[in-house]
Amino acid sequence: MTNHIVLYQPEIPQNTGNIARTAAATDAVLDIIKPMKFEITEHNVRRAGLDYWDKVKLVFHDSMDDFMATMAPDAQLTLITKFASRTYSDNDYADLNIDHYMMFGKETTGLPEPFERAHADECLRIPMTDNVRALNLSNCAALVIYEALRQQDFAGLEKVHTYPHDKLK
């Protein structure tokens, strides 16, 4: 079983960087569906001081069709969108025998409406007021991946961390 954070055509490098850190911390795969509004290059990563990129399991897809073709038939796809009647916490992520793909749209326009409509049963939302258009993409990704991990009893993650000096005793 693998958890995947899927970004559809990300536009803001800082959001993608934050999500990459979350993916590294949670051992999730970061799937990016192109095109992107920026490039992830070794120079840019080093310049930003991002010392965790070598820990990110990063997969690029040339299109939505390319991405969909890579998913196993038994994988669970969830689309995070404001146009859904169920919330992200209503979903069952507990099955450790399948891959879970949590897809997020681009920062300005979200996921393509025809794609959302074709996958209406897989659409989930994060409850919020109508005071803002949307939540920050990296916050949404962290919220949803950690809900999935909570339901999976944080499998594979370190639940307790000791102070370095305690290990010397």
Tell me if 8 sits within 8 A of 64, measured CB to CB.
Answer: yes
Known binding residues for S-adenosyl-L-methionine are 80, 105, 126
The CB density around residue 169, as the number of other CB atoms within 10 Å, is 5
Q: Which residues pair with 104 in a beta bridge?
A: 7, 80
pTM here is: 0.92
- CATH number, domain 3-167, options 1.10.10.10, 3.40.1350.10, 3.30.1130.10, 3.40.1280.10: 3.40.1280.10
Known binding residues are 80, 105, 126
Residue 165, Cβ density class (10 Å: 0-12 exposed, 13-18 middle, ≥19 buried): exposed
Q: Which residues pair with 165 in a beta bridge?
A: none
What are the sequence ranges of the domains in the chain?
Answer: 3-167
pLDDT single digits (tens) 47-68:
555 678 889 999 999 999 999 9
**Comparing 9-18, 31-40, 41-50, 84-93, which segment has the lowest mean pLDDT?**
41-50
Residue 87 clears pLDDT 60, i.e. is over it: yes
Q: Which residue has the higher pLDDT, 15 or 66?
A: 66
Nearest residue to 147 (alpha-carbon basis) of 125, 169, 120: 125
